[in-house]
Amino acid sequence: MMTPHIEAASDAFAKTVLMPGDPLRAKFIAEHYLDNVKQVNQVRNMLAYTGTYQGVPVSVMGSGMGMPSIGIYSWELFTVYEVEHIIRIGSCGAYSPELNLYDVLLADRVFSETTFGTVQNGDPNPFRSPSPELNQRLIQSAHALSLPLKTGTVHSCDVFYRENSQDFQRILHTHQALAVEMEAFALFHNAQVLGKHAACLLTVSDSLVTAEAASPEARQTAFTRMMDIALHSIAN
């Protein structure tokens, strides 16, 4: 056992890890996109796999939901497994009427009212940024594949069920946050503290503006576009 949460040997991960929230998504990606796949973690069912994509080594691991969970896994990947790049691939809820269901959104900044940064190292700044290099690669990759990609501020929220469902309007207007998810801030914080690289690609799975939610089939199509952008950025 290398860490309290990951049993993989110290050389079991590639330098780049894709992190969906759901460990079964990690399994799906490994089985459908990667070659030469080996499962490298099963502790707490937080499945992780390493394989190759177009000959380039890549790992995929679930992050779980929320900042405490991705905070643990990303820290251990960066520090114990010498991972250099983590690309979160997740879903988000739209705050902005300009985002449509199934759009793919690249976070170029995250806002959060979480205590994660303050507790981790005393940094109270409510904003974190992704790696400009990784974002640039992802934008170029979307361009090369002729896939539409939006960019903007994302709200990383600690609470999924809020008492006041209209609260999002305030965050949209005060911080220009186009959408909400629950992990990017902690991932970007850890990458910044450790001198590593992180990015976050999201598909819009529901809208707080219209209360629409994606059907499972359409979610899968949008997910495929996001995966193509992420994998192309690693292999090219």
Quick check: 182 binds ligand HPA (CB under 6 A)? Answer: yes
Quick check: 41 binds ligand HPA (CB under 6 A)? Answer: no
Smallest gap from residue 78 Cβ to ligand HPA (A): 24
Site for ligand HPA in 195-214 (CB under 6 A): 205-206
Quick check: 92 binds ligand HPA (CB under 6 A)? Answer: yes
Phi-psi region of 179 (alpha: psi -120 to 50; beta: other; left: phi over 0): beta
Smallest gap from residue 24 Cβ to ligand HPA (A): 16
DSSP states of 137-198? HHHHHHHHTT---EEEEEEE-S-SS-S-GGGHHHHHHHH-EEEEESSHHHHHHHHHHHT-EE
Quick check: 101 binds ligand HPA (CB under 6 A)? Answer: no
Annotated catalytic residue 206:
yes
Pick between residue 86 and residue 92 the one whose CB is nearest to ligand HPA: 92
Kindly report the number of other CB atoms within 10 A of residue 80's CB atom: 14
> Exactly one of 16, 69, 91, 141 binds ligand HPA (CB under 6 A); which one?
91
Interaction pattern, residues 138-167, with ligand HPA; x per rule: CB under 6 A: -------------------x--x-------
Residues forming the site for ligand HPA (CB under 6 A): 91-93, 157, 160, 180-182, 205-206
Catalytic residues: 206
